[in-house]
Amino acid sequence: MCGIFAVFGHGGDTTAFRDRALTLSKKIRHRGPDWSGIKVVGRHFLCHERLAIVGLGSGAQPLTNADESVILCVNGEIYNHKALRKQLKGKYEFQTESDCEVIMYLYEEMGPAFINLLDGIFSFVLYDARKDEYLVARDPIGVTTLYQGWSGKDGSVWIASEMKSLNEDCDRIIAFPPGHVYSSATKQTTRYYEPVWWDPKRLPPSTPEPDLKAVREALERAVKKRLMTEVPFGVLLSGGLDSSIIAAIAARYTRRAAATAAAAKKQGAQKSADGNDDDYIEEAVHAAALWPRLHSFSIGLPGSPDIAAAQRVADFLGTAHHAFTFTVQEGLDALADVVYHLETYDVTTIRASTPMYLLSRKIKAMGVKMVLSGEGADEVFGGYLYFHQAPTDADFHAETVTRVQNLHTADNLRANKSTMAWGLEARVPFLDRGFLDVAMTLDPKHKRCGPGVMEKSVLRKAFDTPDDPYLPHEILWRQKEQFSDGVGYSWIDSLKEMTERAVSDEKWAARAVRFPHDTPTTREAYYYREIFHKHFPQRACVESVVRWVPRLDWGCSEDPSGRAQTAHQQAYVATDAAGKKRVGSPARKPASPKKVKTQK
């Protein structure tokens, strides 16, 4: 991934603004420390900060076609770029090995309709000088971050990967909606991504049994695609179900692909590990040949549940594992920087992002530039513990769809900005388009959790293969720990204690006066809101922030911690702003992993 910044229709002195544009682009240079570029055409400015993952020596941006009539800035990865090159009708002289260059030629042949062909994660701006028109687009689920702003001074339109490049100049700023494209020709933002499962009210077909093989194979394909790289890579491994499955698939494939690449080198040909010559597989084999042993990374407080579980997984998979610890004080000291990079005041996002931010710095210091991560599984499969309280199958399914649709406001934002703060790219196989088409069309009765049925049981069963196990049994059937809990329970406890002391009674009493819009409901939320306001004092900056909370109408606690939900084995008593108890002791005693495994 990279950083993009563009201004269309600037009304002032364009010569003077060029320096201003470079300054604003530099604010997101942490996203692309490898190279920078700028193109100016009339009153339009396109800037790029590059993180080189594919096409290392020739992929500098902005990209242009032969006569420079089309200019392109992209943040992302296009996994099917080689297949798309083969689909082009015309003959084009590609100037780079970049996976993004094909976008320009698809546009020349198809116009905006080409966007639905892209398989990857991306945000881009494309300017057509012949028509004096431009397009802005964002990937289907919003894995990459993108913002759009408007200046009332001259009517200019501003685009950036992060809000910090826009807030000083724009009167209004929004998070550009995922799965949409904006055309300056029509001045309309339209949805291009609308799969069959997109309507929360539309239930998938009822089936007697889930297709576990389809789930497993779709996720394996998603992981293989994301091994397209020319730089050192690894996996984020918390020791929870989601990251462990991704690590297990990646470990299997890198071992097989490395062996295949070695054999192919002797034969003078390159074939995939499974006999498939798909371009995805070919590139993954190439990556495995360069980096044949998988590295895994975990973080937690000393003695945390995640550290121990991650080590168990790493030992089982044979990864080169790197476990890091942090202290509560180190986490507290990082909060101001975390909020600055996240550009949100959402409690759960900040709680979980802080350890991820600290870990990303360690990983980048080791020379790694890309990691696989497990975001999205909890939304797709209803893995959060509050899903135990879903009233019906229809409610459960609708909530999974809504959560996936809003991932760009929470977990995607966290995974992207926590890592890209240090120039580290995170790829998320659970949000692969092909995998979503399989997982989101499962009958929700097979996904549901409840008394005696552990969350994400259908995913666990899909990878529960005793004859050739992907993971240790106790990991495969480990109860959900949200990342901010799993790094060590004292992390959230310390945040609450610190913020209770830091926010005075006087401030708390006047919270609605201080923050009349989206007024904080806890002192912890107030504390983060004050930090956010110091970084981003403009009113326009608040519109893009969305707070992540469980379903209060299901009787859930507002506290987003998994331990605040009754299904957690170590649930604690949480209180609302008035001090009223919301959660008591666990509503059930979770079955042992062995018992859960055999339930139908």
CATH number, domain with residue 252 = 3.40.50.620
Residue 583 domain-assigned? no
User: How many C-beta atoms lie closer than 10 Å to residue 9's C-beta?
Assistant: 17
End residue of a domain, out of 129, 160, 191: 191
Please, which pLDDT band fits residue 479 given cuts at 50, 70 and 90?
A: confident
Residues 254 and 169 in one domain: no
Whether the pLDDT of residue 526 is over 70: the answer is: yes
End residue of a domain, out of 468, 485, 502: 485
Q: Which pLDDT belongs to residue 478?
A: 85
Task: State the chain's mean pLDDT as an integer.
Answer: 89
Residues 139 and 258 in one domain: no
Which uninterrupted H or E stretch holds 248? helix 241-267
Q: Which pLDDT tens digit goes with each residue over 547-599?
A: 888 888 888 877 765 555 565 555 544 444 444 443 333 333 333 333 322 22
Domain with 12 in it: 3-191
Whether the pLDDT of residue 265 is over 80: the answer is: no
Q: How far is CA 535 from the centre of its chain?
A: 23
Whether the pLDDT of residue 284 is over 70: the answer is: no
Q: Which pLDDT belongs to residue 326?
A: 94
Residues 122 and 248 in one domain: no
Whether the pLDDT of residue 485 is over 70: the answer is: no
Residues 353 and 477 in one domain: yes
Q: What is the mean pLDDT of residues 27-40?
A: 96
Q: How far is CA 154 from the centre of its chain?
A: 34
Looking at the DSSP bridge assignments, the partners of residue 44 are 41
Residues tagged in the binding site annotation: 99, 236, 299, 373-374
Residue 180 domain-assigned? yes
Q: Which pLDDT belongs to residue 108?
A: 96
Helix axes 279-290, 241-267, angle to 10 degrees: 90
Residues 110 and 39 in one domain: yes
Among 41-55, 278-292, 362-376, which stretch is predicted with the lowest mean pLDDT?
Answer: 278-292
Specify the higher pLDDT residue, 41 or 304: 41
Distance CA 509, CA 582 (A): 22
Helix axes 241-267, 305-317, angle to 10 degrees: 30
Q: Which pLDDT belongs to residue 297?
A: 97
Q: Which pLDDT tens digit goes with each residue over 125-183?
A: 999 999 999 999 999 999 999 999 999 999 999 999 999 999 999 999 999 999 999 99
Residues 134 and 223 in one domain: no
DSSP 8-state symbol, 177 = P
Let me know: does 136 contact 182? Beta carbons within 8 Å.
Answer: yes
**Cis check: omega of the bond before 62, within 30 degrees of 0:** yes
Residues 340 and 265 in one domain: yes
Residues 165 and 103 in one domain: yes
Residues 323 and 391 in one domain: yes
Please, which pLDDT band fits residue 97 given cuts at 50, 70 and 90?
A: confident
Burial of 508 (0-12, 13-18, 19+ CB in 10 A): middle
User: How many C-beta atoms lie closer than 10 Å to residue 171's C-beta?
Assistant: 12
Q: What is the mean pLDDT of residues 293-297?
A: 93
Residue 424 domain-assigned? yes
Residue 599 domain-assigned? no
Q: What is the mean pLDDT of residues 416-442?
A: 98
Instruction: Give percent above pLDDT 70 in the chain.
Output: 86
Looking at the DSSP bridge assignments, the partners of residue 37 are 48
Residues 40 and 86 in one domain: yes
Distance CA 221, CA 382 (A): 22
Residues tagged in the binding site annotation for ATP: 236, 299, 373-374
End residue of a domain, out of 191, 222, 250: 191
Active site residues: 2
Distance CA 431, CA 525 (A): 29
Domains of the chain: total: 2
Q: Which pLDDT tens digit goes with each residue over 181-202?
A: 999 999 999 999 999 999 999 9
Residues 168 and 301 in one domain: no
Model pTM above 0.95: no
Residue 498 domain-assigned? no
Residue 499 domain-assigned? no
* DSSP-derived secondary structure for 482-515: -HHHHT-HHHHHHHHHHHHHHS-HHHHHTHHHH-
- Scanning the structure block, which residue is given the tokens 């689909």? 87
Residues 148 and 269 in one domain: no
Residue 107 domain-assigned? yes
Paired tokens of 379: 């939304």
Residue 553 domain-assigned? no
Q: Which pLDDT belongs to residue 257?
A: 75
